Chain A
Amino acid sequence: MGKPSILGPLRAVRFLLQKPKTLRYPFEPKEPARRYRGFHLNDWDKCTGCGNCADICPNDAIEMVEQPEVEAEPGEKNERPRLDYGRCCFCGLCVDICPPGSLRLSRDYFHIHFDPKTFVFTPRDEKTDDETYLPEGEYSVLKASLAHRRRDYQGFDPDLDFALFDPQRVEMPEVPPEKRKTSFIEQVLGYDRGQAVRESERCLECALCEDACPANLKISDYVEAIYRDDPEESLRTIFRDNPIPAICGRICMKHCEDACSLSIRGEPLAIRWLKRYAADTVRDYRDALRQRPGEPTGRKIAVIGAGPSGLSLAYFLRLQGHEVVVFDERPAGGGIVRDGPPRYRLPLESIQRDVDHISSLGVEFRYGTRVGRDIDFSEVMNGCDAVFLGIGYTVSRSTRVENAERCLLALDFLRRNKTPDRTPVGKDIVVIGGGNVAMDVAREALRLQAIQHPGERTRVQTVSLEDRDELPATEEEIAEAREEGVLFNPAWGPKGVILDEGGDVRGLLCMKCLSVFDENGRFSPTFDEEREMVLETDMVIEAIGQGPDFSFLPGELRERLEFTTARKVKVDEGGMTSIPGVFAGGDIVNLNMDAVTAIRDAKAAAEGIERWLSDQD
């Protein structure tokens, strides 16, 4: 520290000769930093209208406003955020919570206007708005305002590492491929309490999933209940719309997870596994649900088929007090979910839990009774006020190539494996098909080989018309099949089954498939017949698709039953077919052909039947 002096300040004199530091705005504008938090930008194509930005805004500056010009797809809303810059504090929490990352802040910050209404602004960006977001030449800082902005002038960016949501789901414990492929042990172990609570915490409650779910389950409510560690409440919420949660919690096609906001930049919430957690954790459905059938109405409804649609319809109608009888040729309930999904994916005990609950409400099940064989359809129809057909697709299709009759059919194979008398399998199996059923067949075959031919060299391979990247099975299924050792022969078509002198299956002759669909997207495969390949095998299973069996209907009724162009049974919005009093749902009606859509059909039919019954009075 020098001595205090009165001459020291003379140092400042030299600054007289320096250029002033002050910028003369707007002629010398200051360039904001790259990360500047200015006005909003919103990519309308990416924005899903989920409204999380409005929920997190500490100043309630964001309102979700319907935009008629936006056509919302499932999992989206046609709302877009509108900012009130009289309230916004430019904190950018909206950017950090935005699941699709569509909302960003720009470096623009200038707006002067006499009309306070102009401070309320619905942001877009240069992709969809040429008039507001202007290129270099057309932009002038003198006109700068909310409606006169710069193009490509992004500031504060979304960054997944700093997002306010967790893009990663709680990992589901599974039996490793090496261990699971030798038995029918359930592959997915299910969340424990801590894992379920942690996973449910990720839910942002935007409820886009609920619109995407065919049966419109109140997903955010039941997930919230799990987060509050109240699985019973969660189960009660689920049962309002879905009476088969132990089944759906395992094999649902989870349209909800495709729509989940978190899936856009991360992994979707494990909605299906959370439903399974609720169903598995609650030991006694009856205790938790405290459901009772409604007052008897004196009406009787017959349901043909105890699959997802039939079970759900029986449940909904029974709660209304109607008498319900369910016919099924199988020895127990579940329908196609009993026949189809392998036990390592859906154990029979889980099916039984759901069916038992519905049965406990007083629904009468007549198993081992095939309508058309054990009882006439007309008899069924005459004995009740309405009939519901939930018969599903029960017949596997064949390729009908040479010697195809020597192949096994997928559904027969899968169905038999549910009985104590499982299918005896060969050591070298070829599965024809590339869909989920083909994966099920291949993976079951693999397990049976391990059980029936332990320690021996075995092989399971699939052959499919579709190429590697267009296989119709889900990615998950393909990956798991691969992990377990299933081999793939994509883009090959079967030409014939080769038999040896003794008449045993020896191989499958294949030809190269060039394309599967024509230019209109219709199934119309083309082949290069010259390019052939022989897959050596001692057993071929065909898994190329299923169809319905209407043979139980009397001829006259079968003729009156109308179909759509997609070869589905034509029903009105209440699920009624062209035959009055006959309703239908499930795989024979909808194109999704999955359990949750069957539940949707059942809900519609339940309402339709109510209307039909009251019209009869």
Chain B
Amino acid sequence: MRELELYFGPQHLGMVGNFSITLKVEGDRVLEAAANPGYLHRGFEKLMEQRSWIKNFPMVCRMNVIEPDSMEMIYAMGVESLAGLQVPERAQFVRSIYLELARVGSHLFGLWAYANMLGFDTVAQWAMYHRDLVLDLFEELTGGRVYHIYIWPGGVRRDFPEGFEKRLVETLHSIGGCVPDYNGTFFENRLFRDRARNIGTVTREEALGMGGTGQVLRATGVPYDVRKIEPYAAYDRVPWEVPTREDGDACSRILVVRDEMIESVHMIFKLLDEMPGGDVYNRIPNPFKWRIPAGETYVRCESSRGELGLYLVSDGGERPYRAHFRTPSFPHGLTVLEDALRGESISDVGNIMISLYVVAPEIDR
């Protein structure tokens, strides 16, 4: 048989995001895959070195369109760690609730992409509609639908508006009420199982060896979650479980995503019950004069796609000396993806890529 080189993306219909994979194929089989990032490089890390500590706050979220919130969180954590800022207890709860809501929104977006990819248009539409309900909540809380610009160093930017908790609970109940519909039409649908079982399998050893985190690792039975092993915000204040699966294939990863959404919603209810009163913000110094003592820090949190890290250096000046993000899509979209595609069918390339939850903008940054 003849070998062909096939360009998959960025214009390819099966591609989600500005990303491309160069495939070497023989017939329908992928012999080799090479990921091509770089279509979205905006130089954020370099740009951050030019902008004051406060001016970076509205920008970091833009590194990830799907879930900007964990970017805000990691930047706030980095600055707080360097500057020694304390965060009020209530703000920790607000942050956790907000981040879990973001996780649900992000996973619904991922579900839209994945279901769409497999041709489950109805499920995709539902997921998008339900994500919109989550965005309505974000709009009410923060004033923005996509870029919320809400978690800032020292706490959060505004407290819950009047009656927000009630609407939050109602919305989550109404989305949760549709879980049987999702299960019937998608997660327990034989067509999904047949398309996703034993596809793009990543073993536990491979995942660990290639820096896989999040669903990639949890789908191989490892309950690895930064929220558990190194709790931040209010994640150690309420009990919750890390959902895992054993098989390491696309099906397992997507089921982990579903279970996580359900766990997040339950966690939000528990956090709301435990939430203390008080302030949600400790004032930062005058932003025009704000210098952060020289030092370096590495902070990490669990984004919806896996472990998100930030290496932040200050030379004692008014802006970061260096900022570097460890984004989960970087190993997932480059090393893990190339490995998982080997030997698979062309028709499953998009299937595997989206099941790995690759978000192109956070690879390029």
- Measured in the bound complex, the distance between the Cα atoms of B144 and A426 in whole Å is 70
Minimal beta-carbon separation of A259 from chain B (angstroms): 18
Q: Which residues of A contact B144 (CB under 8 A)?
A: 37, 90
Asked whether any CB of chain B lies closer than 8 Å to the CB of A8, the reply is yes
Q: Are B287 and A91 in contact (CB under 8 A)?
A: no
A24–B285 alpha-carbon span in the complex (Å): 46
Q: Tell whether, in the assembled complex, residue B285 and residue A201 are in contact, meaning their CB atoms are under 8 Å apart.
A: yes
CB closest residue in chain B, given A35? B143
Residue of A36, A90, A91 ringed by the most chain B CB atoms within 10 A: A91
Q: Determine whether the beta carbon of A35 is less than 8 Å from that of B141.
A: yes
* A561 contacts B by Cβ under 8 Å: no
Chain B window 43-55, contacts with chain A (Cβ cutoff 8 Å), 1 for yes, 0 for no: 0000000010011
Nearest CB to that of B140 among chain A residues?
A33
Given contacts A36-B143, A92-B143, contact A5 B189 (CB under 8 A): yes
Contact call A58/B189, Cβ cutoff below 8 A: no
Check if B177 is an interface residue, CB within 8 A of chain A.
no
Which A residues lie within 8 Å of B279 (CB)?
Answer: 161
Residue from the list A8, A92, A202 in contact with B189, Cβ < 8 A: A8
Across the interface, B188 reaches (CB within 8 A) one of A2, A35, A227, namely A2
Given A9-B185, A12-B181, A159-B158, A92 contacting B281 (CB threshold 8 A):
no
CB nearest neighbor in A for B141:
A35
Q: Does B228 contact A (CB under 8 A)?
A: no
Known contacts A11-B180, A34-B161: does B287 contact A164 (CB below 8 Å)?
A: yes
A3 and B188 form a contact (CB under 8 A)? yes
> Given the complex, which residues of B lie within 8 Å of A21, measured CB to CB?
129
A residues near B141, Cβ cutoff 8 Å = 35
Contact A89 B55 (CB under 8 A): no
Q: Which of A33, A34, A56 contacts B136 (CB 8 A)?
A: A33
Specify which chain B residues have a CB less than 8 angstroms from the CB of A202 in the assembled complex: 286
B142 within 8 A of A: yes
For the complex formed, measure the closest distance between the CB of A297 and the CB atoms of chain B, giving whole angstroms.
Answer: 43
Q: Does B353 contact A (CB under 8 A)?
A: no
Q: Would you list which residues of chain A between 201 and 228 have a CB under 8 Å from chain B?
A: 201-205, 224, 227
Residues of B within 8 A of A89 (CB): 58-59, 147
Q: Which residues of B sit under 8 angstroms from A2, Cβ to Cβ?
A: 183, 188
User: Is A601 engaged at the interface, CB distance under 8 Å to the other chain?
Assistant: no
A5 near B143 with CB under 8 A, answer no
List of B residues within 8 angstroms of A36 by Cβ = 139, 143
Return chain A residues, CB-CB under 8 Å to B57.
91, 93
CA distance A164 to B282 in the complex (A): 11
Whether A165 lies near B184 (C-beta < 8 A) is no
State the interface size on chain A (CB cutoff 8 A): 46
* CB under 8 Å from chain A, chain B span 107-131: 122, 129
CB closest residue in chain A, given B286? A201
Whether B188 and A5, one on each chain, are in contact in the complex, defined by CB atoms closer than 8 angstroms, is yes
Residues in A neighbouring B192, C-beta threshold 8 A: 4
Residues of B near A162 (CB, < 8 A) are 157-158, 281
A56 close to B287 (CB less than 8 A): yes
Q: Which of B127-179 contact A (CB under 8 A)?
A: 129, 136, 139-144, 147, 149, 157-158, 161
Bound together, the chains give a CA A122 to CA B158 distance in angstroms of 27
* A165, B286: Cβ atoms closer than 8 Å: yes
Cβ 8 A contact of B51, one of A58, A159, A164: A58
Q: Enumerate chain B residues within 8 angstroms of A90, measured Cβ to Cβ.
A: 144
A8 near B183 with CB under 8 A, answer yes
A460 to B294, CA, bound (A): 57
A165 CB contacts on chain B under 8 angstroms:
286
CA distance A382 to B290 in the complex (A): 59
Query: Is the beta-carbon distance between B51 and A227 smaller than 8 angstroms?
Result: no
Query: From A8, which residue of chain B is reached at the shortest CB distance?
Result: B184
**Contact call A34/B184, Cβ cutoff below 8 A:** no
B284 in contact (CB, < 8 A) = yes
Q: Mark A168-209, 1 if CB is under 8 A from B, else 0.
A: 000000000000000000000000000000000111110000
CB contacts (< 8 Å) of A233 on chain B: these are none
Per-residue CB contact flags for chain B residues 180-211 toward chain A (1 = under 8 Å, else 0) read 11011111111111000000000000000000
B289 at the interface (CB under 8 A from A): yes
CB within 8 Å for A201 and B289 given contacts A8-B188, A159-B158, A162-B158 = yes
Q: Which residues of A contact B139 (CB under 8 A)?
A: 32-33, 35-36
Within 8 A of B (CB), among A537-591: none
Say if the beta carbon of B283 comes within 8 Å of chain A: yes
Interface membership of chain A positions 451-468, coded 1 if the CB is closer than 8 angstroms to chain B and 0 otherwise: 000000000000000000
4 closest Cβ contacts across the A-B interface?
A: A91-B58, A8-B184, A37-B143, A58-B55
Given A56-B287, A91-B147, output 20 extra A-B contacts at Cβ < 8 Å. A4-B190, A5-B190, A8-B188, A9-B122, A9-B184, A9-B186, A10-B184, A11-B180, A12-B122, A35-B142, A58-B56, A58-B58, A58-B59, A105-B143, A164-B284, A165-B286, A201-B286, A204-B286, A224-B289, A227-B289
12 contacts between A and B (CB under 8 A): A2-B188, A5-B189, A9-B184, A12-B184, A33-B140, A56-B54, A58-B55, A97-B287, A156-B143, A164-B286, A203-B289, A227-B289
* B interface with A by C-beta (< 8 Å): 51, 54-59, 122, 129, 136, 139-144, 147, 149, 157-158, 161, 180-181, 183-193, 279, 281, 283-289
